Amino acid sequence: MKDIPMNIRYYMAEFYGTFVLTFIGVGIYFVSGNHLVIALSVGFAYMIGAYTLDHISHAHFNPLFTLAAWVDGRMRLKTVGIYLFGQVTGALFGYLGHFLLNAQPFFARDLAFSARDAGLFAFVSFILVYIYLAVSEQKEKRALLGLSVGATYAALTVLTMLPTYGLLSPLRIIEIQNVGMMLLSAGSLSLGSLLAVAFYRQLKFHPTPYQQKNADQ
């Protein structure tokens, strides 16, 4: 891998990680209707990608994490484009895999969301992205990335399965038939990601009273 340019490695890592997350996380719907099984499968799928690819691309596999990393100043815009391209193509191949398995396509479902659901999308995105930002920044915490984010994926999926159908990534809007509902879900998820960055930056850059006391001594 040393001879492969870093941008290609980023693409390959995000492609494969997103492929695994999509293929396993979405595919479990075809074999189980149990919400807990589905949620644990989603979390496990992220953990697989994180513990095998985190050292290359920091295991995004979701445009929400890439958006947050860019806004937080961790990535250049050019790199963001490479990540997003890897994620989109990885997700498409993940869905394509279900056609090869002769599974019923999960596309163009007649899903409808209310304004309350839009707020829920933003809320769960806020939690998911905040956990990612907090765990991924410091080297001593990175060993917990797969477990922390995977567990968060699982918890949020099982808790919001009924109102949001477990759509925790803008990549999954391909499953929605109505364009308006696509925009509502993707926009709400992105808004939650941006709010998570703003909240995280406030905690990161403003010292706590305990830290301020030690700095004054």
Give pLDDT tens digits for 72-110. Answer: 999 999 999 999 999 999 999 998 887 777 655 556 567
**C-alpha span between 155 and 71 (Å, rounded):** 26
DSSP calls for 105-145: P--SB-----HHHHHHHHHHHHHHHHHHHHHHSSGGGGGGH
Quick one: pLDDT at residue 155? 95
Query: Average of pLDDT values for 139-143?
Result: 77
pLDDT band of 212, cuts 50, 70, 90 = very low
pLDDT range class, residue 145, cuts 50, 70, 90: very high
Cα dihedral across residues 56, 60, 66, 72: positive or negative? negative
6-205 placed in CATH 2.40.37.10: no
pLDDT mean over 160-167:
87
**Residue extents of the structural domains in the chain:** 6-205
pLDDT tens, 186-199?
999 999 999 999 99
**Which range (60-69, 92-101, 208-217) has the least confidence?**
208-217
SS3 135: helix
In Å, what is the CA distance from 155 to each residue of 26, 36, 146, 148, 161? 16, 9, 14, 11, 10
Mean pLDDT of the chain: 87
